Amino acid sequence: MAAPFLTISSITKSFKDNQVVKGVDLDFDKGEFVSLLGPSGCGKTTILRMIAGFEQPTTGSIIVDGKDITALPPNRRRIGMVFQAYALFPNMNVTDNIGFGLKIAGMPRPQREARVAEMLELIGLPGFGKRFPFELSGGQQQRVALARAIAPRPSMLLLDEPLSALDAKIRVSLREEIRAIQRELGITTVFVTHDQEEALSISDRIVVLNGGRVEQFGTPFEIYNRPQTRFAATFVGTLNTIAATVIDPAARTVRIDGQPATIPCLPTATKPGDTIALTMRPEAISLVHGQPRDIVLDGTVSEVSFLGSVIRLKVRLGDNIVALDTFNDQTRPPPAYGEAVKVTIAASDILVLGD
């Protein structure tokens, strides 16, 4: 197991009396694509800026490839960075923008030009060399910004919500492009975003942050299917919650909306009569068409959203409303509003989470 490439060691950051980052320890492997995911104010951008060197950690250190770079100024860290607002230099054309880092490093002109041409090919904009930033669309500017960041072959790439300022369609295609380029170059990348779908789709691993602390650090699959905290579960994907009353902890039976059910993952520390929250993803619930699973409940349809290939239904079970997804079936129209339906849940898909 190779040593981690980037280590963030017991980092805290306070601005005056406000502690924004409250003790974070992370290890990233070389060539890995990691997302820092969380709501506004969770500290993700602050952590990124500390890696870049624009903020100094109040305590803790940052180690890259074995070297402690905490005290190193940003212009000596050899880190590429892409900003939310593109930040292309307006007085230079695309070629000069991309070649800026190379020029500063003293690369002679012919090599610079070759490298810039290589970058333009990589981002799919050959022939755009002479254009100026104000002549480019948002998506094109961001690609040029990416090329500018990686042209000097940095040891790491940092991206600060690079897609937030773009249209939805461009966002999706550009994130895939970024991932493809990153994979091809094998460069260690840290990507900050508040969009969980973005993080899930392109990351090797995700750091879920909230209030300056790490909630969970794992692969997209782990975080989605085995969230360790209530926050991680609700922030990433949709989470259904059903209130149930405990009947017998030893037999792991509960009552849901008057109907009995057996929950294997029920914690034994509960007492009969307790109310607990059962959580599950939408895809864990389905309408009973063929084989019912462990739990069958009666409910009424309260909302139908036909999204094309997927139909999202909201079903009322007593005081609870759950969302469930079902695939479009040409032979079977979706249930109507108010219709009585039976839903079934596999007991193994249920999570009982703390707060």
Partner 1 sequence: MSSNTAIASQMAPMADPGKPGPAHRLARGRHALASLGQYLGVLPFLIFALLFLIIPTLNLAISAFYDTDGHFTFNNIIELRRQNIVDAYWISIRVSAASAALGAPIGLVIALAIIRGRLPGWIRSSVMTFSGVASNFAGVPLAFAFVASLGRLGMVTVILKFLGFDLYQTGFNLLSFWGLTVTYLYFQIPLMVLIISPAVDGLRKEWSEAAQTLGASPWQFWRHVGLPVLWPNLLGTVSLLFANAFGAIATAYALTGSSLNIVPILLYTQISGDVLHNPGLGAALALGMILITGIANVIYLVVRTRAERWLK
Which residues bind to partner 1, rule: CB under 8 A?
52-54, 73-81, 83, 85, 87, 89-92, 100-101, 103-105, 132, 134, 145, 148-149, 152, 154, 158
Is 91 or 330 the residue whose CB approaches partner 1 more closely? 91
CA distances, 274 to each of 218, 244, 323 (Å): 32, 8, 24
Indicate the residue among 78 and 312 with the shorter CB distance to partner 1.
78
Query: Residue 13 or 252: which CB sits closer to partner 1?
Result: 13
Residue with tokens 């009569």: 273
174 contacts 142 by C-beta, under 8 angstroms: yes
**Smallest distance from partner 1 to CB 188, Å:** 15
Least Å from the CB of residue 96 to partner 1 = 9
d(C-alpha 346, C-alpha 355), whole Å? 23
Side-chain-facing half-sphere of 90: CA atoms under 13 Å: 2
Q: Which amino acid, residue 118? A: E
Cβ closer to partner 1: 157 or 322?
A: 157
Please, which residue, 166 or 311, has the CB nearer to partner 1? 166
* Closest residue by Cα to residue 239 from 353, 83, 87, 85: 353
DSSP 130-176: T--GGGS-HHHHHHHHHHHHHTT--SEEEEESTTTTS-HHHHHHHHH
d(C-alpha 266, C-alpha 349), whole Å: 12
Residue closer to partner 1 by CB (options 100, 128) is 100
244, 80, 106, 260: which is closest to 160 by C-alpha? Answer: 80
Shortest distance, CB of residue 87 to partner 1, whole angstroms?
A: 4
Shortest distance, position 104 Cβ to partner 1, whole Å: 5
Least spacing, CB of residue 124 vs partner 1, in Å: 21
CB 49, min distance to partner 1, A:
9
